[in-house]
Amino acid sequence: MKSIRIGSGAGYSGDRLEPAIDLMKKGNLDYICFEGLAERTIAMAQKSKQEDVSKGYNELLLYRMEQVLPLAHVHNIKVITNMGAANPLAAMKAVAELGNTLGLKGLKLAAVIGDDIFENINQYLDHTLIETGQPLKSLKGKICSANAYLGCGGIVEALSHGADIIITGRVADPSLFLAPMVHEFGWNLNHHEKLGIGTLVGHLLECAGQVTGGYFADPGKKEVPDLWNLGFPYVKIDNSGQGYVSKLQGTGGSVTRATCTEQLLYEIHNPQEYITPDCIADFSKVEFIEIEKDKIAFKGATAKNATDTFKVSVGYRNGFLGEGQMSYGGANCIQRAILAEEVVKKRLDLFSYDIRELRFDLIGINSLLNRVEPSKSLSEVRLRVTGRTETKKQAQQIANEVETLYTNGPAGGGGASKKVEEIISISSILVPKKDINISIEYQTLNQ
């Protein structure tokens, strides 16, 4: 029976590289996928592309590829990543240049293109925003990006043309991992159970360390050995859909039924209907079985037919965020922080700006969930003031009013910080799949 081994090289855009390199060296992998694109990352990338047409891909792409490419070449591991972000073509060209410098003759690169529908966005102004129920045209004039969540199709096609390194833009996270299974095992749209299993594999792997004991440890309750040296996961799966998730021996972390269950439900709503571009996966009957230490088998996933739409993330300019912070410590620190809060409130009233979601947090007391009564025993507390404004100048004023607490506020404030940034928000619409044209560009090194 044919089986493959798929590793996870990154769980988010800024993730560690060493565990991925470790997996490529010792994991006997056939594939490794690097997931590096969150909802907002692509809108930010789109902004940098607008400033420089040769940019707009993940900032760590070349740093990663410098070590990844030679290992892919030597160990014959195919690499799949959405680090192309807003500009997969420019990303491929940059990686090709790097690969040529490294002398990796014959390596075939591919860029999957077609997720970026910003040019056509005006066709969809009457479409409803999923989050608010308003029509898309309510954002007109502010829209700065539009990217469809593609499925595994483009990657599968690139693999069938012999590509070794595949760089995409917005492809749904689990689809990156599903693609090699579909390609290797010849699964198709009618293989519902298989697509469900493949999507489960993708979902377990897409956050890398989150299934091997990362984001899990709770001292005294959930111990994770050598967390500092967390190993990244891989899955071994055969064409019947049987498989397990594991990590390299000698790395830190642990793979257990508990780590797998936490990751299974991570960012899932109805477990019977996990909608991806490839299928509607059903995880409600999934079970995890421990085969041996750090080796967990999975079963019970299935799926229904995919929907006929792609979800499109629409990025739009949403004003500015201003933030200031100041700490108070020692005797009576909470009362001084509360007085500081009152001062800033009254100062900002002087300007009568339209500040949306003006927010006062006491870090250490109520910044994460405003439900906890201040305890008298706290030895320090940090005031955080933040709000959204129309203009940068107004946002700056919020930050400044906290900083001026130094010489004008209650006694003993220290460690002021401030931040002002433009807010790029994301909303979503659904677009018919038939509207999206996926194409692939190839480049073979030193030919």
Partner 1 sequence: MKLWDIAHTRTGDKGNISNISLIVFDNKDFQLIKEKITATVVKQWYGDQVKGEVIRYELPLLGALNFVLYDALGGGVTSSTALDKHGKTLGAYLLEMPI
Q: Which residues lie near partner 1 (CB under 8 A)?
A: 39-40, 43, 130-131, 215-216, 218, 221-222, 258, 261-272, 284-288, 300, 318, 321, 323, 357-359, 361, 363, 367-371, 384, 386-388, 423-426, 428
One-letter amino acid at 362 equals L
CB nearer partner 1, residue 40 or residue 392: 40
CB nearer partner 1, residue 113 or residue 426: 426
CB nearer partner 1, residue 371 or residue 434: 371
Shortest Å distance, C-beta 172 to partner 1: 12
CB nearer partner 1, residue 8 or residue 145: 145
Residue 267 CB neighbours (<10 A): 10
Shortest Å distance, C-beta 269 to partner 1: 5
CB nearer partner 1, residue 62 or residue 358: 358
Shortest Å distance, C-beta 98 to partner 1: 32
Shortest Å distance, C-beta 314 to partner 1: 11
- Between helices 88-101 and 61-75, what is the axis angle to 10°? 60
User: Is there a contact between 45 and 58 (Cβ–Cβ < 8 Å)?
Assistant: yes
- Between helices 192-205 and 173-185, what is the axis angle to 10°? 130
CB nearer partner 1, residue 82 or residue 263: 263
Residue 424 CB neighbours (<10 A): 18
Distance CA 29, CA 223 (A): 28
For the chain, state the CA radius of gyration: 24
219 φ/ψ angles, rounded to the nearest 5 degrees: -50, 135
Please name the residues in contact with 331: beta carbons below 8 A apart, sequence gap of 6 or more: none
In the block, residue with structure tokens 């111990």 = 223
Residue 214 to residues 10, 118, 226, 280, 421, Cα–Cα distance (Å): 12, 36, 11, 27, 30
Shortest Å distance, C-beta 344 to partner 1: 14
Shortest Å distance, C-beta 260 to partner 1: 9
User: Is there a contact between 377 and 366 (Cβ–Cβ < 8 Å)?
Assistant: no
Q: Report helix, strand and coil shares of the chain as percent, to nearest 5.
A: 35, 30, 35
Shortest Å distance, C-beta 371 to partner 1: 5
CB nearer partner 1, residue 383 or residue 445: 383
Shortest Å distance, C-beta 372 to partner 1: 9
CB nearer partner 1, residue 21 or residue 268: 268
Shortest Å distance, C-beta 408 to partner 1: 24
Cross-strand pairs, 326: 383
Distance CA 104, CA 99 (A): 6
CB nearer partner 1, residue 79 or residue 211: 211
74 φ/ψ angles, rounded to the nearest 5 degrees: -70, -45
User: Is there a contact between 95 and 109 (Cβ–Cβ < 8 Å)?
Assistant: yes
Shortest Å distance, C-beta 95 to partner 1: 28
Helix (H, G, I), strand (E, B) or coil at 388: strand
CB nearer partner 1, residue 145 or residue 443: 145
Helix (H, G, I), strand (E, B) or coil at 315: strand
Please name the residues in contact with 173: beta carbons below 8 A apart, sequence gap of 6 or more: 35, 37, 82, 202, 203, 206
Longest dimension (CA), the chain: 74
CB nearer partner 1, residue 65 or residue 321: 321
Q: Is 330 left (phi over 0), alpha (psi -120 to 50) or beta?
A: left
Shortest Å distance, C-beta 270 to partner 1: 6
User: Is there a contact between 13 and 34 (Cβ–Cβ < 8 Å)?
Assistant: no
